[in-house]
């Protein structure tokens, strides 16, 4: 039995695999108002499908569903097998609260008890 696949069939299979990965992934990258699905995500970067997303550069937001995870400064690293890989120059975790501009006292009360 031969395991040889024609070039067209092999490219079609790779495109189908990328499409399934993109659909199953909840991760998205947002550049202004444009949102693109993330195919793969790792500690130092992520990849998106080359046909869908333009070459991104600068500040972007990484989302998991509707949750904002990171604000990142990115640069395109390389393009291979139909996906563009981006590396983080900086990735700052997003927070729902503003950072404190002071150090809380270690003996500060946790709550107040009112008179009844």
Pure H helices in the chain: 7-24
Sequence ranges of the domains in the chain: 26-93
Q: pTM for this one? A: 0.66
Dig out the tokens for 64 from the structure. 């998991």
- Whether residue 73 contacts residue 89, with contact meaning beta carbons closer than 8 Å, is answered with yes
Give per-residue pLDDT as tens, 38-86: 988 899 999 998 888 888 889 999 998 888 999 999 998 888 878 899 9
Domain 26-93 CATH assignment equals 2.40.10.220: yes
Cα–Cα distances in angstroms (integers) from residue 84 to residues 32, 94, 112, 113, in the given order: 19, 24, 54, 57
42: closest CA among 58, 30, 53, 27? 27
């Amino acid at each position: 039995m031969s395991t040889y696949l024609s070039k067209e069939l092999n490219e079609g299979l790779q495109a189908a695999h990328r499409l399934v990965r993109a659909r199953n992934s909840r991760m998205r990258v947002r550049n202004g108002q444009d949102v693109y699905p993330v195919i793969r995500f790792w500690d130092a970067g992520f990849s998106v499908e080359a046909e869908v997303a333009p070459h991104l550069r600068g500040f972007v937001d990484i989302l998991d569903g509707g949750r904002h995870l990171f604000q990142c400064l990115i640069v395109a690293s390389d393009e291979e097998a139909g996906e563009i890989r981006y590396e983080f120059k900086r990735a700052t975790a997003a927070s729902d609260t503003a950072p404190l501009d002071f150090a809380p006292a270690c003996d500060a009360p946790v709550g107040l008890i009112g008179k009844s």
